[in-house]
Amino acid sequence: MLTLNTENLSTQEIQQYLQYAIAPRPICLASTIDLEGNINLSPFSFFNLFSMNPPICIFSPSRRVRDNTTKHTLENIKLVPECVINIVNYDMVQQVSLASCDYPKGTNEFIKSGFTQLASELVGPPRVAESPIQLECIVQEVISLGEKAGAGNLVLAEIKRIHIQDDVLDSNGNIDQVKLDLVARLGGDWYARITADNLFKVEKPNSKLGIGFDHLPKEILENNVLTSNEKAQLANVSLLPDLNMTTQAKAFSLETLKAIKNALDNNDTQLAWHIIQTSI
């Protein structure tokens, strides 16, 4: 295993390792304005949701690694503490990449990247009309993490209004994860696309505690065909089914194990346990 001490690495080397390792990262396409009303649009992948009450997003316009300069987004927010966080999907990712260019101050990246400005209702910066979800935000605080090249600046943005395009909603008015077609940032030039083919569900533990690995029957726990992930699914039930297992319990056949694995792959833990019960 490669083990690295960050104090022995350059900022560029740390960036290379961590941006590949800590991924995928959602992308925030932030629009801001300066005191003269000049508009800036720039993407950030150091971004996520951090609170529900109040609803807070955080993104970080870091100091540039190459020359330690700050980004226009950060400069604007310090003067006009407002922004719009525009969520990025696949249909707009190439335009978002274009907006990331370091254009001179005063350049409107909406024009450069071909995006359509849409007036906001509560804040000064405009929304990106092409974005499936647009969040109008008031900046509560900017926290500097240092003055050296690569240091982050945490922008705490409170979401005041949410705009959602109709075509990403389901029949109940909720966001359809498949329709959203999100993209995420990886290391280097790599991105990920969140499509139906790579989406999967993991059942959340409910208010009743899962039994845990320590309560799985020996025949399940010591089985080498079932993976640790699959055993965790079986251990996430709140009550262990009545299995009547004994020290003489027979080993599961390969056919039975395949059926158990198939049920777990389809997130049907109840069926998996039923197969186990009927196969003892």
The reported pTM is: 0.86
Per-residue pLDDT reduced to its tens digit, 189-219:
999 999 999 998 887 766 678 889 998 988 8
Single-letter code of the amino acid located at 120: S
Which residue among 151, 174, 198 closes a domain? 198
Under the banding of pLDDT at 50, 70 and 90, the label for residue 247 is very low
Same domain as 157, residue 120: yes
Same domain as 143, residue 13: yes
Q: What is d(CA 44, CA 91) in angstroms, rounded to the nearest whole number? A: 17
Same domain as 194, residue 234: no
Residue 14 has pLDDT above 70, yes or no: yes
Same domain as 147, residue 62: yes
Would you state the pLDDT for residue 278? Answer: 85
Question: Is residue 148 a part of any domain in this protein?
Answer: yes
Written as one string, the DSSP assignment of 181-232 is -BEEE-STT-EEE--GGG----PPP-SSPP--GGGS-HHHHT-SSS-HHHHH
- What the block records as the tokens of 177 is 């994860």
pLDDT higher for 126 or 151?
126
Q: What is the residue range of 252's domain?
A: 213-279
CATH number for the domain harbouring residue 139: 2.30.110.10
Question: Is residue 1 a part of any domain in this protein?
Answer: no
Does an H or E element contain 164, and which? strand 153-164
Which residue among 198, 233, 264 closes a domain? 198
Q: Which residues contact 129 (CB under 8 A, 6 or more apart)?
A: 115, 116, 117, 118
Question: Is residue 204 a part of any domain in this protein?
Answer: no
Which residue among 198, 228, 256 closes a domain? 198
Per-residue pLDDT reduced to its tens digit, 113-148:
999 999 999 999 999 999 999 999 999 999 999 999
Opening angle at CA 20, ends 17 and 21, nearest 5: 80
Q: For the chain, what percent of residues have pLDDT higher than 70? A: 96
Same domain as 178, residue 95: yes
Q: What is d(CA 103, CA 110) in angstroms, rounded to the nearest whole number? A: 12
Question: Is residue 206 a part of any domain in this protein?
Answer: no
Would you state the pLDDT for residue 90? Answer: 95
Same domain as 236, residue 105: no
Residue 1 has pLDDT above 60, yes or no: yes
Question: Is residue 205 a part of any domain in this protein?
Answer: no
Same domain as 238, residue 153: no
Same domain as 27, residue 154: yes
Question: Is residue 67 a part of any domain in this protein?
Answer: yes
- What the block records as the tokens of 205 is 């533990």
Question: Is residue 114 a part of any domain in this protein?
Answer: yes
Same domain as 260, residue 186: no
Would you state the pLDDT for residue 277? Answer: 85
Same domain as 153, residue 29: yes
Q: What is d(CA 217, CA 272) in angstroms, rounded to the nearest whole number? A: 14
Q: Which residues contact 226 (CB under 8 A, 6 or more apart)?
A: 220, 234, 257, 260, 261
My answer on whether omega of the bond before 24 falls inside 30° of 0, hence cis, is yes
Helices and strands, number each (H, E), in the chain: 9, 12
Same domain as 54, residue 108: yes
Would you state the pLDDT for residue 37? Answer: 94
Question: Is residue 203 a part of any domain in this protein?
Answer: no
Number of domains in the chain: 2
Same domain as 193, residue 229: no
Per-residue pLDDT reduced to its tens digit, 77-121:
999 999 999 999 999 999 999 999 989 998 999 999 999 999 999
Would you state the pLDDT for residue 208? Answer: 75
Per-residue pLDDT reduced to its tens digit, 35-71:
999 999 999 999 999 999 999 999 999 888 888 888 8
